[in-house]
Structure 1
Amino acid sequence: MNLNREDERISEALKSSEERILEGLNEQQREAVLHGEGPLLIIAGAGTGKTLVTTHRIAHLIASKRARPEEILALTFTEKAAAEMEERVDLLVPYGYMEVWISTFHAFGDRILKEEALELGLSSDLQVLTEPEQIIFFREHLFEFPLSYYRPLGNPTRYIEAMVNLFNRAKDEDVGPDEYLAWARTLEATAGEDPELKAYASRQVEIALCYQKYQELLAKNGRIDFGDQVSYVLKLFREHPEVLKKYRQRFRYILVDEFQDTNYSQFQLVKLLAGPDGNITVVGDDDQSIYKFRGAAISNILGFMEQYPRAKQIVLTRNYRSHQVLLDTAYRLIRYNNPERLEIKNNIDKRLIARKDGGTPVKLLYYDTLSSEADGVAKLINEKVKAGTHTYRDFAILVRSNNDADSFLRSLNMRGIPWRFTGNQGLYDREEIRLLMAFLRVIADFQDSVSLYYLASSEIYRFNPIDLVRCMNVANGKNKSLYDTFINLEDTPELERISPSSRETISRVLADIERYVTSSVKKPTGELLYDFIMDTGYLQNLTSHPSRENEEKVRNIARFFEVVRNVGKLIDPDRVPRFVSYLDMLVEAGDNPPVAEADEDTDAVNVLTVHKAKGLEFKVVFMVGLVSGRFP
């Protein structure tokens, strides 16, 4: 009896949930959400409710009992997008029904590999390498690779980065080492007596053999890279049909968000899971494809109907974000990509229709130099805020790359305008992170005078600048380190004029160095660094004086501790000297993680790269640096 009541309660909850799921949807969105069996292509223009349709379709499949939650797989591209999707679905379905697999492609692959590691002969405790870590791994094993042409005597590491990039791109294109080698051998066999072709074929064979060796070394050392998280799963499904069958039965419905950003391998994975006539829903827009530089294959969305001829196609054109003037301007511009657009290929109408009234035309502003452009943008923002019509957070400045932001940040600073920059890197350039890195470098090497100078002059020790410069000058003049100069302070006549407070600071610095060096012998890097920011009161000082700047510093310190933890998994033993050496190699390889995400409620101008801005909304947007051949 109780069970029957519980079943009735669940049934009523699902029925109520389904009504809420369809509430407020327009005709196009409703059609996409209610689609039944078989492949579905949803072409969702900017601001048409792409995420809403995806999440409501997932919720509808559950509420209508077409699928149990655990039978649904939803794939997207960022952890943030996956978390947002999961949260939205959770609000739409009854409590206890949130068992949908919602994740990024790489997280999905990682989960499958951990579950099926034995089938591939891999460890279930695999460490995933970032691209800079791949470069370091290659360098550490350099002389284990069958290199000749690509290891020149004068600069044996010259081609490492290019080699790693090629391996990554091969995996994006679903080209494994054996396939690459077979192609290279064929090329070699057909080269004949042509010296140029023979030399080219020989180099390709060398690359292919290195690709094989690279994969072998990764497996041997319990490492994989991001490409492996997809390529190994493809290998698993192709070589073990019983495993593929298991996952096909598990995931009866598959949804892919931002489909225009998938690479070739990712689409192959989805097709394998879905089968020839599977229940696959892909959501995307070819006009929003901006990730070709990292391997995205726009051919996936352009050719979806050829792969699935019986697929249903739904176009979302009602825009809820912008006014018609702006949409028409964007439409005129994007049509320059014809005929290589879905609108032409699939004979559909993608012109967006605004639901908002009003709007002003797009303004084109000319400037003769970059600095005058940056000053002009800062001036316009300042005028509008002073007029009381806008707040700083209303504005966004979109740049092509991280480096392009510098001029605009300087101009904002000159006018005292608060800003927050969201790019793809920059953590190691932050003042608070440089301080932590300086501390670790001093503990690893007393003779690093530059790091000791930075540490002593920091807000932790507040060394008198004049006295510190005197000490540094004496050290340079005698060809000694700053540390040795501190140690021999009393025996250095040139430093007799150093103030008593500076002498106390030197004593404190030296005592701390000795204490932390002693601790560093037994403690891992993260633990020692934590002791430093706690013992010196640095972290407490930041948290006890709340401000936008201090909050950013705390978030970035937390982000740096993530770096410390991840590196600690890759080095043995995890001690400061080894960590600093590895970190230096990371920096040399181009590693510089993004800073922590800023608080969205902070009243500050948003400066961000175009790629970071995707999907966000702002009242006033400046697209800067529109110089022919650079942006777009």
Structure 2
Amino acid sequence: MVTRINPCEWKPQGVDDLEPNAWEGLRENKQHAAVLAGAGAGKTEFLAQKAAYLLQTGICSDPNRILAISFKNDAARVLKERVNLRCAPEQSRRFESFTYDGFTKFLLDRFRLAIPEPYAPPPDYNIYFPNKGTFQEFLNNQKIRGVNVYQLQKDIANLPLPAGQHNYLALKSYWQCRLTSDEVALSFQMINRLIEYLIRSNPNIKHALRSTYPFVFLDEFQDTTSPQYELLKFIFLESNSLITAVGDDKQQIMGWAGALPEAFNVFNQDFGAKNFDLVSNWRSHPELVSMQHAIAQMITPGLTQPEAKNTKNMKGDVAAIWGYSDRNDEIQGVSNWISEQINSGTKAHELAILVRTHADKLEVEIAPHLLNKGISIRNVARIVDGIAIQDILTEKLTTIILPFLYLGVLERSPENWNRALISLCALEGVDFVDERAHSQQQDRLQYFSRLLRQDLSNGNFHKGRINPTISSILAFLTEDAIRSSISEYKQDRDYNRVLNGIVSLLEECADCSSSWLEALDRFQGVDQVPLMTIHKSKGLEFQTIIFFGLDAKTWWSLTPDNPEELRSFFVAFTRAKQSTFFTSCSQTGNPVTWIEEILTSVGVNKLAGPGCEN
């Protein structure tokens, strides 16, 4: 049994110390907390440390749990992994990390039958992602006229059930069609409304959630949508559950997707939260932070500059606007520069290319130039067998399978051993307090990993071995155990989509690899230049950022009075640990003069781009 630590004696794990405001926010367990944390402030680390503090001191005692809700899959995964590293297994199992959509789907799968008729979906419902065309097709098929497509989409996401109470034919018909079709398919917006209706109709479920989760973490809170926030408020407002909301209004870039305006102000008004400002930037060095702060002040005038905690370890410009007159010169010049950096020792996966939109178009242009130099590019939004690469890498099934594959390849790998053992025990329902059962699972894992290592070391490596190897791992773990313990995989379609994506991406990596280890590393993007949009880069960091397209055509809506576009620009700028470079090609569009003036005033000079200095 794990011994509790006195709160006064508790110390952070994995870091030397926390800044004073982080200590205060971490120890606050009497009222709700709003933690304002700018770029590089360590939002995920703060939440991981607070979880460790609550669990290890017994403030969140067994059987109570901590509910953490993040905006993106990879953020939820990373937060869970960090808690696993800092806490004993019997403690970390009481930390539940979801996305908003994952949490509502979990509730739907668990309490589906308690939803009042006729809104309870069948057990084999599917998830779908509607767009404007989907809603227009519905209206045409139903011969409904005079309804604005965008308004219908908004009403589906926001109006409470039952739909009939609104005297709104299109809304009522839409729900009826979705729930009575041969293959019922629900969007996550619909699932949100179903869960609100479920809890409103069943007060005991609301009471159970409040009792189970005395502590709730909300990561990247600024991107929470209005329906998501209203659901959380409906569950936890005026309860004993304490919410810690963490985020940064300067990085709210999901307004187009319905992000709650002035999210922290709304939260403070509703919950009376105590505010804590994290003032450190652990990502970027002082020179870069000073440049980023010029943009931050345009978003929030009078803002105090963060204290940079990273150190500069490079020579030359840390930021510049690279000017080009020809698109081909721009592509060729940047490709050559990337090649030079890699040849000088920089890892390819630490050099990220960002674009505002249409990463696939830039991939077509620049990938052949890089490939000629032996450099691979990875467009994280590229679809492989029906699922984006970035989504494959953050799926729970991936995080289960990968450690076993590495155990089959590496003679010793303590980190992957621990991850595999945690997954195995969780799937087998083994309590880590039960030493005998835990020891049995260790023996099982040791035996299986030895057999797997023998199998993978025999014969030539080729992609035909991927599927049988993954099948053997799933047979050892049992797919039924995986699918019953992870709500997202209860439906055949959802599970098979992810599994097929994992297999297909690994097979693709195997085609250009000479060993299992090389294929696994390629699968995770090692030694490949990542390419992504700003929205996909949120929460990530790289040594160097190259932002393609700082021009008025690409950034047609970047104006001083458009805060969301300015926040997008700020997010792009703040992904870098050491350097950021913007390309501006006159063939593509005119310069964004006002933003260039701000940047040059803080030392971001406009220079002839690499390859056209002469």
TM-superposed CA distance for 1:245, in Å, is 2.4
Q: From the superposition, tell whether residues 615 and 245 of structure 1 become closer, same or farther in structure 2 (CA, over 3 Å).
A: same
Residue 253 of structure 2: which of 279, 284, 290 is its match? 290
Specify the alignment match of 1:260 in structure 2.
222
Map 1:67-466 to 2 at 5 A. Answer: 67-68=60-61, 70-97=64-91, 98-121=93-116, 122-123=120-121, 125-132=123-130, 145-148=142-145, 163=149, 166-172=151-157, 174-176=158-160, 182=166, 208-221=168-181, 222-276=184-238, 278-308=241-271, 310-338=272-300, 349-358=303-312, 360-386=317-343, 388-401=344-357, 402-406=359-363, 407-423=365-381, 425=383
**Residues 133 and 546 of structure 1, relative CA distance in 2, 3 Å threshold:** farther
Q: Is 1:11 matched with 2:3?
A: yes
The 3 A distance-change label for structure 1 pair 608 and 300 is same
Alpha-carbon distance in structure 1 between the residues aligned to 2:140 and 2:376: 51
Match of 2:547 in 1: 623
Question: Match of 1:39, as an amino acid?
Answer: H
Partners in 2 of 1:235 and 1:362 — Cα distance?
Answer: 51
- Structure 1 partner of 2:530: 606
- Is the 8 Å Cα contact of residues 60 and 66 (structure 2) preserved in structure 1? yes
Query: Which structure is higher in helix share?
Result: 1
User: Structure 1 76/126 Cα, relative in aligned 2: closer, same or farther at 3 Å?
Assistant: farther
Q: Distance in 1 between matches of 2:285 and 2:48?
A: 25
Q: Distance in 2 between matches of 1:567 and 1:99?
A: 25
Question: Which deviates the most, 74-83 or 278-287?
Answer: 74-83
Please report how far the alpha carbon of residue 246 of structure 1 lies from its aligned counterpart in structure 2 after TM superposition: 2.7
Alpha-carbon offset, residue 227 of structure 1? 0.7
CA apart distance, 1:378: 0.7
1:44 and 1:285 in contact (8 A); partners too = yes
Tell me the alpha carbon deviations over residues 290-348 of structure 1, each in whole angstroms, 9 at most, x when there is no partner: 2222222242224322223x321111121111111111111111322246xxxx6xxxx
Could you tell me how far 1:126 is from its partner in structure 2? 4.8
Task: Give the Cα–Cα distance (whole angstroms) in 2 for the partners of residues 423 and 83 of structure 1.
Answer: 18
Q: Does 1:25 align with 2:23?
A: no
Distance in 2 (CA, whole Å) between partners of 1:262 and 1:76 is: 9
Contact 1:138–1:214 under 8 Å retained in 2: no
Percent identity over paired residues: 21
For the pair shown, the structure with the greater C-alpha radius of gyration is 1
- Distance of 2:296 and 2:177 partners within structure 1: 46
Structure 2 counterparts to residues 546-625 of structure 1, below 5 A: 569=493, 599-600=523-524, 602-625=526-549
What TM-score does the superposition give when structure 2 sets the normalisation length?
Answer: 0.62
What is the SS of the residue equivalent to 1:131? coil
Q: CA deviation at 1:370?
A: 2.9
SS of the counterpart of 2:319?
coil
In structure 2, runs of 5+ residues without a counterpart are: 389-455, 471-482, 484-488, 495-519, 556-568, 570-614
Corresponding residue to 2:47 among 51, 54, 58: 54
Distance 2:211 2:161 in 1: 30
Q: Which residue of 2 aligns with 1:451?
A: none
Q: How far off its partner does 1:372 sit? A: 2.4
Contact kept? 1:322, 1:354, Cα under 8 Å: yes
| CA–CA separation in structure 1 for the residues paired with 2:331 and 2:192 | 42
- Give the whole-Å Cα distance in 1 for the aligned partners of 2:360 and 2:522: 19
Q: Which runs of 5+ in 1 are unaligned?
A: 1-8, 151-161, 186-207, 431-539, 556-561, 571-595
Letter in 2 for 1:620: T
Secondary structure of the residue aligned to 2:323 is coil
The answer on whether the counterparts of 1:42 and 1:313 sit within 8 Å (CA) in structure 2 is yes
Counterpart amino acid of residue 626 in structure 1: L
Would the aligned equivalents of 2:126 and 2:491 in 1 still touch at CA under 8 Å?
no
CA contact under 8 A between 2:342 and 2:348: conserved in structure 1? yes
**C-alpha spacing 1:566/1:30, structure 2 compared with 1 (3 Å):** closer
The aligned residue for residue 452 of structure 1 is none
Q: In the superposition, relative to structure 1, how do residues 602 and 91 fare at CA in structure 2: closer, same or farther (>3 Å)?
A: closer
| Shift in CA distance, 248/385, structure 1 to aligned 2, threshold 3 Å | closer
One-letter amino acid of the counterpart of residue 224, structure 1: L
Q: CA deviation at 1:145?
A: 2.5
Find the aligned partners of 1:569 and 1:356 in 2 and give their Cα distance.
45
User: Relative contact order (alpha carbons < 8 A, sep ≥ 6): 1 or 2 greater?
Assistant: 2
Shift of 1:92: 2.0
Structure 1 residue 384: Cα displacement? 2.9
Q: 1:371 to 1:14 in 2, by over 3 A?
A: farther
Structure 1 stretch displaced more, 226-235 or 421-430: 421-430
Asked whether the equivalents of residues 222 and 264 of structure 2 are also in contact (C-alpha less than 8 Å), the reply is yes
Structure 1 residue 264 displacement after superposition: 0.3
In the alignment, the residues of structure 1 paired with residue 243 and residue 281 of structure 2 have an alpha-carbon distance, to the nearest angstrom, of 25
Compute the RMSD of aligned alpha carbons: 3.9
Q: Residues 51 and 398 of structure 1: is their aligned pair in 2 closer, same or farther, counting only changes over 3 Å?
A: same
